[in-house]
Structure 1
Amino acid sequence: MIDRRTALAGVAGMFGAALYAPIARAAGLAQQPAAGIPPISEGPPSAPVFTPAQRALMTALSERVLPTTDTPGAIAADVPAFIEKLLADWARPEDRAPIIAGLDAIEARCLQDYKVAGARATAAQHDALLTLAMNDGLPSGGAFFTAFRQLVITGYYTSEIGITQEREYLPVPGEYNGAFPYSQVNKVYSS
């Protein structure tokens, strides 16, 4: 079975030069493991990164980026724990700043517009707030959205659920068939 560190190295190419710094650092270590540094998926974060309200909002927003459909979503794949672990153990304080500022801006806007805490907002309200952030309509919105989306996608597609249920894991792909009908392709394979 593929481990999270190896999968992380593969995901890094998906974002190219705009890769969020903690993911890039972790992916670089996947290629050259350093002695004594635990894999990202092991153990709790070395220190809490979020307040309880920020953690709850981050969890709700991660599920909006990759919601549960016919496959499990971000929460089921334990993406919020991955994000906090990555930010606690692989990010510098300046790397955390856009995530914390973005969560705080979304919380403030949610209270202003909807009169509810961010974690209690509806899915449609979360979508509107994420769209506002994506379009840089909030302070630090664009920087937050780009980094947050990368964290969610990386956390999901390096999780066991992302690798085995969203995609189909084949350590050694089957035989080559150049005439395989596209209509019969069910899942994208990762190896």
Structure 2
Amino acid sequence: MIDRRHALAGMAALFAAPLFAPIARAAGLAGPATRPVVSEGAPSVQVFTPAQHTLMTQLSERILPTTDTPGAIAAGVPAYIAKLLADWALPAERIPILAGLDAIEAKSQQDYKISATQASPDQQDALLTAAMNAQFAGGAAFFEAFRQLVITGYYTSEIGMTQEQEYLPVPGEYHGDYLYSKVNKVYTA
């Protein structure tokens, strides 16, 4: 059975940008860990304010929403992000995420006159797009780090590994002429 640390190391190649330092550290790709290895239990410190935690939870679901498979919330991504930032991130490495959440809240207040947590899904998508396109200070740094956190959290979760992808411990025979249109899921081994 693959553990989360090995899955994180395998996912590192998926990102075109440099890997967010806490993810690299947790995967064992960033030299010796400068933080203690804490893999179970609640986060050792509270990183988010209640409002930031609510917004982080909602935005993670906007990046990987529930479709025919469970989304980020069902996969436990918000808890993963809180744990990773609390136990694997240095205080300075948390700044892009925390500042980005605050900037998204400010942009929502400016553009929509409501809290980002009360914004509609389309409005939250627009706020994430603005971050991705660096339309406010720190937006691009926030978006890249946050996207990596959500994707690694999802695809190293049980739901991501077993429901989004199909695990075949011993893949079947090779069919070089298998039509792509017949592929149902991405297979991992």
Q: What interval of TM-score do these two structures reach, taking the shorter chain for normalisation? A: over 0.9
In the TM superposition, residue 183 of structure 1 has moved relative to its aligned partner by 2.1
Give deviations 1:141-176, integer Å, cap 9, x for gaps: 010000000000000000000010111011222222
Counterpart residue type for residue 48 of structure 1: Q
Q: Distance in 1 between matches of 2:101 and 2:141?
A: 11
Picking from 123, 145, 156, the partner of 2:121 is 123
Classify the secondary structure of the residue corresponding to 1:189: strand
| Gap change, CA 1:6 and 1:32, over 3 Å in 2 | farther
Trace 1:154-173 onto structure 2 (pairs within 5 A). 154-173=152-171
Alpha-carbon offset, residue 48 of structure 1 = 0.6
CA contact (8 A) 2:46 2:86 kept: yes
1:102 paired residue number = 100
Alignment partners' CA distance in 1, 2:185 and 2:63: 20
Displacement over 3 Å in runs of 4+: 29-33
Deviation, structure 1 residue 98: 0.4
Unaligned runs of 5+ in 1: none
Does the residue aligned with 1:171 lie in a helix, a strand or coil?
Answer: coil
Provide the rounded CA distance (Å) in 2 between the counterparts of 1:182 and 1:167.
16
2:110 aligned residue (105, 109, 112) = 112
Corresponding residue for residue 37 of structure 2: 37
1:178 alignment partner in structure 2? 176
Mapped partners of 1:135, 1:16: distance in 2: 16
Q: What is the TM-score normalised by the length of structure 2?
A: 0.92
Q: Which residue is equivalent to 1:2?
A: 2
What secondary structure sits across from 2:28 in the alignment? helix
- The match for 1:86 among 84, 87, 92 is 84
Matched, 1:67 2:65: yes
> Larger helix proportion, structure 1 or 2?
1
- The equivalent of 1:26 in structure 2 is 26
Name which of structure 1's ranges 13-22 and 90-99 shifts more when overlaid on structure 2: 13-22
CA distance in 2: counterparts of 1:30 and 1:167, whole angstroms: 27
Deviations 1:39-71 (CA, angstroms, capped at 9, x unpaired): 3xx211111100000000000000000000111
Query: RMSD value over aligned CA atoms?
Result: 2.1
Helix, strand or coil for the counterpart of 1:18? coil
TM-score (norm 1): 0.92
Query: Map of 1:116-155 to 2, 5 A cutoff?
Result: 116-155=114-153
Q: CA deviation at 1:30?
A: 10
Q: Percent identity?
A: 69
Q: Against the structure 1 CA distance between its residues 31 and 100, is the aligned structure 2 distance closer, same or farther, given a 3 Å change threshold?
A: closer
For the 8 Å contact 1:5–1:30, the answer to whether it is kept is: no
Structure 2 residues not aligned, in runs of 5+: none
Q: 1:32 to 1:180 in 2, by over 3 A?
A: farther
Shift of the 16–111 alpha-carbon distance from structure 1 to 2, 3 Å rule, reads: closer
Letter of the structure 2 residue corresponding to residue 116 of structure 1: I
Contact 1:66 1:74 in 2 (8 A): yes
Q: Is the 8 A contact 1:4 1:159 kept in 2?
A: yes
Q: 1:182, CA displacement in angstroms?
A: 2.1
